Structure 1
Amino acid sequence: MIKKIVLAIIALTIIIVGVSLLVHFNNRKVAEDKIDRYIADYGIPKSEIKSEEYPMFNSLSAPKGFTKTVYVKNENNKDNYYIFHYDPSSKKVEFSGVVEGSEVSIHNKLIKKLKYQPSDKVLNKD
């Protein structure tokens, strides 16, 4: 009897973890697709992307959602890169950039120091 209860609890735990992982990976795929469309709208050519960081799981202290960091080729300053964050509650992608080591918003004057500037399509979404 106790073995059946333990097996039922283990099976239930496996099912719950499995469903949670499926939901997470589905949400992650949706977020990545939206972020990739936003990057294309922003105006960064795929051929100019040197590397991307898209962590499987965010840290507990990170804001809710998914974040992709993009580094481009031939950027004048190695401390400059692009951050795209997808918020599942608002279903929107938000951009910020790191310029000379400081994170700035899309409307900050320092954004002009990045190699690629936001397109009118992105600026008009705000």
Structure 2
Amino acid sequence: MNKKIIWIILILLIIIGGIFSIIHFHNRSEAEEKIDQYIADYGIPKSKIKSEEYPMFNSLSAPKGFTKTVYVKNENNKNNYYIFHYDPSSKKVKFSGVVEGNEISMQDKLIKKLKYQPSDKVLNQ
């Protein structure tokens, strides 16, 4: 009898874990599509992207959502990069960047030091 209960609980845990995994990967896929579209709208050509970091799971201290970090080729300063964050509650992508070790927003004056500047389409969103 005890073995049946343990097996039932184990099967339920596997099913619940599977459901949560499917939901997470669906949301992650949707977020990546929106982030990629935002990057294209921002004006960074795909051919100029050196690397991207899109972690499977964010850290617990990170804001809710999904974040993609983009490093571009021939950036003036190797410490400069772009961060795009998808917020599932507002269903919007937000930009921030890192310039010389300082995280900046779209309104920061240091944004001019990034190789690619936001397009009018992004600025008017």
TM-score (norm 2): 0.99
- Letter aligned with residue 121 of structure 1: K
In the TM superposition, residue 110 of structure 1 has moved relative to its aligned partner by 0.5
Partner residue of 2:123?
123
2:9 is paired with a residue whose SS is helix
2:28 is paired with a residue whose SS is helix
Partner residue of 2:114?
114
Counterpart CA distance in 2 for 1:96 and 1:3 is 53
In the TM superposition, residue 7 of structure 1 has moved relative to its aligned partner by 0.5
In the TM superposition, residue 8 of structure 1 has moved relative to its aligned partner by 0.3
In the TM superposition, residue 107 of structure 1 has moved relative to its aligned partner by 1.0
Counterpart CA distance in 1 for 2:121 and 2:41 is 6
Partner residue of 1:44?
44
Gaps of 5+ in 2: none
Partner residue of 1:57?
57
In the TM superposition, residue 106 of structure 1 has moved relative to its aligned partner by 0.5
Counterpart CA distance in 1 for 2:57 and 2:78 is 25
In the TM superposition, residue 109 of structure 1 has moved relative to its aligned partner by 0.8
Partner residue of 2:90?
90
Partner residue of 1:69?
69
Counterpart CA distance in 1 for 2:43 and 2:110 is 18
Identity rate, percent: 78
Aligned residues between the structures: 125
Q: Deviations over 1:60-99 (max 9, x none)?
A: 0110000000000000001100000000000000000100
Counterpart CA distance in 2 for 1:97 and 1:61 is 18
Counterpart CA distance in 2 for 1:61 and 1:17 is 22
Aligned-pair RMSD on alpha carbons? 0.4
Counterpart CA distance in 2 for 1:13 and 1:39 is 38
In the TM superposition, residue 44 of structure 1 has moved relative to its aligned partner by 0.1
Partner residue of 1:8?
8
TM-score (norm 1): 0.98
1:79 is paired with a residue whose SS is coil
In the TM superposition, residue 59 of structure 1 has moved relative to its aligned partner by 0.5
2:67 is paired with a residue whose SS is strand
In the TM superposition, residue 12 of structure 1 has moved relative to its aligned partner by 0.1
Gaps of 5+ in 1: none
Counterpart CA distance in 1 for 2:120 and 2:25 is 32
